[in-house]
Amino acid sequence: MFTGIVTDVGEIRDVEQRGDLRARIATAYDTATIELGASIACDGVCLTVIGTGTDWFDVEISAETVSKTNLGAWNVGYRLNLERSLKVGDELGGHIVSGHVDGVAEVLSIRDEGDSTRVRLRAPEALARFIAPKGSIALNGTSLTVNEVEGAEFGINFIPHTKEVTTWGAVEVGDRVNLEIDTLARYVARLAEAG
């Protein structure tokens, strides 16, 4: 379980296709405190640590995960948002995020508004109904509030702090980002279908 509050920006050091995709991620985390088998959200995808070094950890990524996310585009030097899993007693500063990405959204436009940046994205049609104005969403592992929704398109506003401590300061039109819909929205929609 995660909050969508990014706590490090890592960098891909190595990517190798074996039976599954394997990646080595450089991090500022104290890797001596990362247990093998720990979960770390990597651009919003909950991945299991399979090895560690002095300033890196390794993860293995199944073909299923690659097919549902933007992780297939990872290459050496790619920067990604990281968050370690919650511990009992941690502050829940964002919203409940599972790290189970629902699909990939595309960045359509970027516009500065004062010191902030407005980003417009397009969600997959099947997920659009779960996105609501002023609702929560996780994009590349970042807990965000939706500003407006028009069909499958929606807008997000990034304050300077978010752009500085995540990869959102380098976002470009055409980028594909991991999208996880709000858990509550998922269950409300399921209850509405059953009712």
CA dist 135 and 19 (Å) reads: 38
Mean predicted confidence (pLDDT) in 128-149: 94
Whole-number average pLDDT of the chain: 92
What is the per-residue pLDDT across 1-34, written as a single tens digit (0 to 9) for each? 898 899 999 999 999 988 899 999 999 999 999 9
CA dist 18 and 24 (Å) reads: 13
What is the per-residue pLDDT across 100-112, written as a single tens digit (0 to 9) for each? 999 999 999 999 9
pLDDT band per the 50, 70, 90 thresholds, residue 195: low
Task: Spell out the domains of the chain, with CATH numbers in brackets.
Answer: 8-84 (2.40.30.20), 103-194 (2.40.30.20)
Mean predicted confidence (pLDDT) in 46-58: 97
Mean predicted confidence (pLDDT) in 64-90: 91
Q: Which has more pLDDT, 172 or 92?
A: 172
Give the per-residue pLDDT at 187.
Answer: 66
For residue 190, is pLDDT > 70? no
Phi-psi region of 4 (alpha: psi -120 to 50; beta: other; left: phi over 0): left
Distances (CA, A) of 112 to 9, 81, 119, 143, 156: 23, 22, 9, 20, 12
